[in-house]
């Protein structure tokens, strides 16, 4: 699918919660971190929901079941039901079910979320490579996942059993910092076998398909904190996206983003759902947003002005993305970003 290259974050005269019918929200780094709600998330989501926007929670984390995720959200003050939650476990279970007969055994390396999703598709979770599995599936299993589980996957994959992964996120946010994600565990099996898994989760099409099938969204807005999953997934699905700066992505990564990692909108946190988005205006080779002006020149990005840091970041993105064209931006933005604290 041909797409024009985005050279600046877009503006919106409407609140995003009014312009889109469904928010497809990532969880880790967007709604919560380390199990605790991120600042402003609970009241922002309540206001968006009360205004008529549907909230769907779309996560690459395959560990927990939709029931468990919904219960956690409800405990945080965000009422949710299992049907509001879409996981990469569900996406990979559908992908497997499309390729093996119903009732097939599937070797599981991961948590309860994977097992529940497989049973939903009429597949039988097993624990050993000696259980004659028709497929191997790997998903995030939490810090208690033992090394022996990777060995079982490796034995089966080395015998030629088809290998699937819920997702390949190398990291996952936690309350103590950034921890290894399922992608790091997938690398263990890849190194041992030399094989490549079929992957279902963001940013790949199976996850987008699962989300649209389950939500029926007509004007969806993807909301996430990661360029390489949330934003790239929106790009691949041809839908708009909002990047919030409460998780993995920092200002330097956003300014240097290649075209397929550039969000439609950028905001500090989920309060961005409730407002319009300011225009980034070009003039005289510079880009203005709020009280800030940014320009690219002499191998670096220059920033002048004052105001909300996220406005300065929007202006910097426009200057960098325009200068970089199709390539990731190599301009020195360190001093400009230091002024913004992002």
Q: ∠138-142-145 over CA atoms, to 5°? A: 70
Just list the catalytic residues: 26, 28
Closest Cα to residue 108, out of 86, 140, 82, 65? 140
Instruction: Report the distance separating Cα 327 and Cα 324, nearest Å.
Output: 5
Q: Are 311 and 289 a contacting pair, CB within 8 Å?
A: yes
Q: ∠198-4-17 over CA atoms, to 5°? A: 80
Strands 177-180 and 124-126 come out as unpaired
Checking phi first, is residue 279 left (phi over 0); if not, alpha (psi -120 to 50) or beta?
A: beta
Instruction: Report the distance separating Cα 100 and Cα 85, nearest Å.
Output: 25
Distances in Å between the Cα of 84 and the Cα atoms of 67, 152, 293 are 10, 33, 41
Backbone angles phi and psi of 266, in degrees to 5: -135, 135
Q: Are 129 and 159 a contacting pair, CB within 8 Å?
A: yes
Instruction: Report the distance separating Cα 61 and Cα 183, nearest Å.
Output: 11
Instruction: Report the distance separating Cα 133 and Cα 292, nearest Å.
Output: 59
Residues in CB range of 147: below 8 A, 6 or more apart: none
Closest Cα to residue 217, out of 20, 8, 62? 20
* Residues linked to residue 29 through DSSP beta bridges, in sequence order: none
Specify the length of the chain in residues. 342
Instruction: Report the distance separating Cα 72 and Cα 78, nearest Å.
Output: 9
Q: Is 280 helix (H, G, I), strand (E, B) or coil?
A: coil
């Amino acid at each position: 699918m041909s797409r024009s290259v985005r050279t600046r974050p877009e503006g919106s005269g409407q609140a995003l919660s009014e312009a889109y019918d469904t928010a497809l929200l990532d969880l880790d780094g967007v709604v919560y971190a380390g199990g605790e709600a991120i600042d402003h998330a609970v009241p922002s989501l309540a206001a968006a929901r009360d205004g008529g926007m549907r909230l769907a929670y779309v996560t690459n984390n395959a560990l927990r079941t939709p029931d468990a995720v919904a219960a956690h959200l409800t405990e945080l003050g965000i009422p949710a039901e299992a049907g509001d939650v879409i996981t990469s476990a569900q996406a990979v279970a559908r992908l497997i079910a499309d390729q093996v007969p119903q009732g097939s055994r599937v070797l599981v390396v991961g948590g309860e979320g994977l097992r529940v999703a497989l049973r939903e598709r009429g597949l039988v979770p097993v624990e050993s490579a000696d259980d004659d599995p028709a497929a191997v599936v790997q998903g995030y299993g939490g810090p208690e996942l033992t090394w022996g589980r990777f060995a079982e996957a490796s034995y089966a994959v080395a015998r030629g059993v088809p290998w699937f992964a819920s997702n390949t996120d190398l990291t996952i946010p936690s309350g103590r910092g950034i921890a290894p994600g399922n992608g790091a565990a997938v690398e263990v099996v890849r190194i041992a076998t030399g094989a490549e898994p079929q992957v279902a989760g963001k940013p790949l099409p199976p996850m987008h398909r699962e989300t649209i099938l389950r939500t029926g969204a007509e004007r969806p807005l993807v909301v996430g904190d990661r360029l390489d999953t949330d934003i790239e997934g929106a790009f691949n699905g041809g839908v708009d996206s909002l990047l919030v700066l409460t998780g993995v992505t920092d200002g330097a990564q956003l300014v240097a983003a290649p075209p397929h990692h550039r969000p439609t909108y950028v905001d500090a946190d989920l309060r961005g759902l409730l407002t319009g988005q300011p225009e980034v205006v070009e003039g005289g080779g510079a880009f203005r947003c709020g009280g800030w002006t940014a320009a690219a020149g002499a191998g670096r990005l220059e920033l002048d002005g004052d105001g909300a840091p996220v406005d300065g970041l929007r202006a910097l993105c426009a200057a960098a993305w325009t200068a970089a064209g199709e390539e990731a931006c190599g301009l020195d933005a360190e001093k400009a970003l230091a002024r913004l604290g992002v």
